[in-house]
Amino acid sequence: MQYISTRGGMQPLPYCETLLEGLAPDGGLAVPETMPTVDGETLERWRALTYPQLATEVLGLFATDIPRADLARMTAAAYEPFPEAVVPLRAIDDDLTLVGLSEGPTLAFKDMAMQFLGQVVEYALERKGSVLNILGATSGDTGSAAEHALRGKDRISVFMLSPKGRMSAFQRAQMFSLDDENIHNIVVDGVFDDCQNLVKKLAGDLDFKRAQNLGAVNSINLARITAQVVYYFWAWLRATDVGGWTEVSFTVPSGNFGNILSGFFAKQMGLPIRRLVLAANENNVLDEFFRTGVYRPRSAAQTLATSSPSMDISKASNLERFIFELVGRDASRVVSAWKDLDDKGHFDFTADLSRFIEEFGIVSGTSTHADRLATIEAVYDASGDIIDPHTADGVKVAREYVEPGVPMLVLETAKPQKFAETIREAIGVELEYPSELRAMLDAPQRTTEMADDEHELRAFIEANALR
């Protein structure tokens, strides 16, 4: 299995080399040269596997340059910190089932991919005899999941940008309380899109990228996308009967289009998915795109601070991988679309709008703060479950697309403890924290504050990068 760029300017590379690259040299994103496929017989054979075993099988289709025994060792190590039920499914009513993705060390779905990413990046670096300086941006959960997966690793340093004042107190504590020498938390005076733009500017400077050994852990990283594919297969296998070829639908709270892209990959691989339902918050650029065909990102000033902050994103990095498939893998049309975005502030695929649903099965909807509060309250009253605000966005939008006879699975985003203020507002419940989490919240925090300044960031990385 080899990987190419969505913009056509990268020679095919194997998995391990691709995941160390981050952005492709031409500024595009890595995609499989040919998408692997899975048939019904294989799916049935996978029903009896544990989560690490299933991860080995699915990832083995993508990481063909890694010996199977090494891959099995890494998936076992990646999911060791999780409880025995790595991804539990639980019904919250007759229509909706939650896919539990927040059992990992930072209580968010990002752990599902990041724990594997920490293993495979270290493996690739040891094999190559090199080091990597991870440059990333986070709107909340990516940063903490990455830092907890990569802390203390000898060959890796992490430079994580986050927007000042835009994350919950719990999210800040999970990141800023870490005192490992290889972790650098950089608080940028701006919004998430400003942080993401800084990352892209530095990653797009190939001389700087090579000189500083820069890599990425954002959802542009191939290992994250492929690791997230696994739980779509896992959830389907547990929501369907033996021997059946039942279609299911998935609803995915989405800001950067990474998590739902993994579901799109799973559907392309042959998993029987009827609908992929994208749930947006008030920063609903993606919902507008899938409803109208016009993609028009907002400025930093127009990007709202909401009670589902991990989705406060107006420019979705991973949408380019979907556009690549939409235009029939024509890299020149991808480049043209992004030129329109730079020149006009938008690109237009209204001519392809019917294909979004008919061919790709993608639909979408928006949830507001009032919707989140009402949904959290309704779920709590009906089932006793407390869900976080991002999951509430998913539940609200999922109800708009429930179809008779088609199971609707909603991907859980995080534990509610990460968003205690919103939970208190919705249902008046004060969430309890175990002693280790309380200690984390009370611990000193270590950050570097910085303007939205490319040159200042360059200088900081040059002074602190691993060589």
Indicate if the pLDDT at residue 217 is higher than 90.
Answer: no
> What is the DSSP track for 15-49?
HHHHHHHSS-TTS--EEESS-----HHHHHHHTT-
Cβ-Cβ contacts under 8 Å for 441 (sequence gap 6 or more): 169, 170, 173, 433
Tell me which H or E stretch contains 371: helix 369-383
Positive or negative: CA dihedral 414, 169, 284, 355 = negative
Distance from chain centroid for Cα 413:
10
| Nearest residue to 309 (alpha-carbon basis) of 75, 114, 139, 98 | 139
Indicate if the pLDDT at residue 426 is higher than 90.
Answer: yes
How deeply is 219 buried, as exposed, middle or buried, from its count of CB atoms within 10 A (0-12, 13-18, 19+)?
Answer: buried
Which own/partner pairs from 356-361 qualify as long-range (CB within 8 Å, at least 24 positions apart)? Answer: 356/290, 356/293, 360/264, 360/267, 360/276, 360/322, 360/325, 360/326, 361/267, 361/273, 361/274, 361/275, 361/276
Kindly list the catalytic residues: 110
Task: Assess if residue 99 is contained within a domain.
Answer: yes
Token digits of residue 62: 């993508």
Instruction: Report pLDDT digits (tens) over 428-464.
Output: 999 988 888 889 989 999 999 999 999 999 999 999 9
Task: Assess if residue 248 is contained within a domain.
Answer: yes
Tell me the helix, strand and coil percentages in the chain, rounded to 5.
45, 15, 40
CA distance 129 to 322: 34
Instruction: Report pLDDT digits (tens) over 359-411.
Output: 999 999 999 999 999 999 999 999 999 999 999 999 999 999 999 999 999 99
Q: Residue 245: what pLDDT?
A: 77
Helix axes 259-268, 319-326, angle to 10 degrees: 30
Task: Assess if residue 23 is contained within a domain.
Answer: no
Domain holding 319: CATH number?
A: 3.40.50.1100
| Nearest residue to 412 (alpha-carbon basis) of 83, 93, 110 | 110
Indicate if the pLDDT at residue 22 is higher than 80.
Answer: no
Token digits of residue 287: 């919902």
Token digits of residue 160: 């994580």
CA distance 158 to 147: 7
Phi, psi of 252 (to 5 degrees): -130, 115
CA distance 214 to 108: 25
Task: Assess if residue 43 is contained within a domain.
Answer: no
How many domains, in total, are found in the chain?
Answer: 1
CA distance 129 to 113: 24
Name the H helices within 107-168: 111-128, 141-150
- Tell me the whole-structure pTM to 2 decimals: 0.92
Bridge pairing between strands 3-5 and 294-295 = unpaired
CA distance 30 to 19: 9
Residue 191 DSSP label? -
Q: Residue 204: what pLDDT?
A: 87
CA distance 86 to 231: 10
Task: Assess if residue 7 is contained within a domain.
Answer: no
Q: Residue 220: what pLDDT?
A: 82
The CB-side HSE value for 353 (13 A sphere, CA atoms) comes to 14
Tell me which H or E stretch contains 233: helix 222-239
Task: Assess if residue 25 is contained within a domain.
Answer: no
Instruction: Report pLDDT digits (tens) over 243-278.
Output: 777 999 999 999 999 999 999 999 999 999 999 999
Task: Assess if residue 21 is contained within a domain.
Answer: no
* Average pLDDT of the residues in 336-348: 96
Count of beta carbons in the 10 Å neighbourhood of residue 297: 19
Residue 278 DSSP label? E
How deeply is 34 buried, as exposed, middle or buried, from its count of CB atoms within 10 A (0-12, 13-18, 19+)?
Answer: exposed
CB distance 113 to 141 below 8 Å: no
Task: Assess if residue 146 is contained within a domain.
Answer: no
3-state secondary structure of 431: coil
The residue segments making up the domain with residue 100 are 89-106+225-427
Instruction: Report pLDDT digits (tens) over 123-169.
Output: 999 999 999 999 999 877 788 888 999 999 999 999 999 999 988 88
CB distance 411 to 251 below 8 Å: yes
CB distance 281 to 367 below 8 Å: yes
Helix axes 169-176, 435-442, angle to 10 degrees: 80
Residue 108 DSSP label? B
Bridge pairing between strands 30-32 and 3-5 = antiparallel
